[in-house]
Amino acid sequence: MKQMDAWWAHASWCIDGGIETAACKPFLTWATVAVVAIGLLLLWMFRARLFMPLLIWIEEMKLRARDRKIADPETMARYKVDDSKLRSDPAQENVEQRIRDALLKKKLTDRQRRHHQKTGHEKP
């Protein structure tokens, strides 16, 4: 509390007429920093309130533009896939196993190729 009283006494003395003295320069500097910080904060809040409707309007325009790109339900129904025409191909049912077999075969051929390259017996 004593420090606050001392600060207040110093601030009062500087405001009363000794603001140009060397002892008041730190007070003047900090007062200027505080005023600028408060001013910037108020300006930021004002900018946010001023531009908020504009930002909402811009977002709404983006949503409307996106909605215009999507076809209406009638058009979507016209290009819907007919499931009755799809048939199950026996070759496609075991796709996962075929992929595993192909990867294993590739792995083996790559190993053999590296081995032949190291030994100098590379196949043409």
Question: Does 86 map to a domain?
Answer: no
CA distance 9 to 3: 10
Question: Does 122 map to a domain?
Answer: yes
User: Tokens in use for 51?
Assistant: 């531009």
Q: For the chain, how many structural domains are there in total?
A: 2
CA distance 2 to 8: 10
Q: Domain check: are 57 and 7 in the same one?
A: yes
In this predicted structure, what is the pLDDT of residue 23?
75
Whole-angstrom Cα Rg for the chain? 39
Q: Domain check: are 110 and 68 in the same one?
A: no
Q: Domain check: are 24 and 65 in the same one?
A: yes
pLDDT along the chain (124 residues), means of 10: 82 76 80 94 92 91 87 81 66 76 90 76 56
CA distance 109 to 120: 16
Domain ranges, residue 34: 1-72
Q: Domain check: are 100 and 39 in the same one?
A: no
Q: Which residues contact 19 (CB under 8 A, 6 or more apart)?
A: 28
In this predicted structure, what is the pLDDT of residue 70?
79
Q: Which residues contact 118 (CB under 8 A, 6 or more apart)?
A: none
Q: Domain check: are 54 and 100 in the same one?
A: no
The torsion region of residue 120 among left (phi > 0), alpha (psi -120 to 50) and beta comes to left
In this predicted structure, what is the pLDDT of residue 122?
56
Question: Does 88 map to a domain?
Answer: no
Q: Domain check: are 1 and 49 in the same one?
A: yes
In this predicted structure, what is the pLDDT of residue 62?
93
Question: Does 111 map to a domain?
Answer: yes
Please state whether the predicted TM-score (pTM) of the whole model is above 0.85: no
